[in-house]
Amino acid sequence: MLCSCSSKPIVKVVTQTQTVYVLPPPDWLVQCSTPDFVGTTNFDLLKHSLTQTNALATCNANMLRLQKWRQQYEHND
Largest Cα–Cα distance of the chain, in whole Å? 99
Closest CA to 59 of 22, 34, 23, 37: 34
pLDDT per residue over 16-54, tens digit each? 998 887 887 878 777 777 777 888 999 988 988 888 888
Gyration radius from the chain CA atoms: 28
Distance, in Å, from the CA atom of 32 to the CA atom of 42, rounded to the nearest integer, reads 25
Q: What is the mean pLDDT of residues 7-17?
A: 81
- Return phi, psi of residue 19, to 5°: -85, 125
Give residue 20's identity as a one-letter amino acid code. Answer: V
Binned at pLDDT 50, 70 and 90, residue 75 comes out as low
pLDDT at position 42? 93
DSSP letter assigned to residue 76: T
